[in-house]
Amino acid sequence: MTVEEVEQGPRQVARTVEVLASADDIFALLADPQRHGELDGSGTVRNTVSGPQRLSQGARFSVAMKQFGVGYRITSTVTRFEDDRIVEWRHPAGHRWRWELSPLTPTSTRVTETFDYSTVPAVQGKVFELLGFPRQNAAGIEATLRQLALRYARA
């Protein structure tokens, strides 16, 4: 299993991996915000989630997070939702997290996760860069995708 870098454009950090599971199985996990803690490789997402059992376009969900030793809660809004294909949400700071699924076979899927901060003002993007968010999020995405691929490799 190899996690690869994907060029998505300026101020976007994306990685991809092939997962030995169907797109609908993976999508079921992504579309359930209660299960996002199972996915997280960054160590920031906690299992305390409030919101719908299944995401949809415009849905809002809140997640307990912990970063730099500080606990906090964020509420995100789903900005794109296409069954078995795309889940994207906007963080309160304006950046977006996107999951894209591309079926390769009935039992394997190309999964791409993107941290997209091209949607925030230039000054805010520069602050993200100075704080090292693109680098930190790249490492978190890689860990998440490895964890996802291993989850289904063992199934």
* The pLDDT of residue 48: 65
Q: What does pLDDT average to in each consecutive run of 10 residues of the chain (155 residues)?
A: 93 98 96 82 67 94 77 89 97 95 97 97 96 94 94 77
Question: Count of domains in the chain?
Answer: 1
* The pLDDT of residue 81: 98
Paired tokens of 152 = 């289904």
Estimate the crossing angle of helix 122-130 against helix 133-153, to 10 degrees: 70
* The pLDDT of residue 33: 86
* The pLDDT of residue 141: 95
List the domain range (segments joined by +) for residue 79: 4-153
- What CATH number should be reported for the domain holding residue 71? 3.30.530.20
* The pLDDT of residue 36: 76
* The pLDDT of residue 47: 65
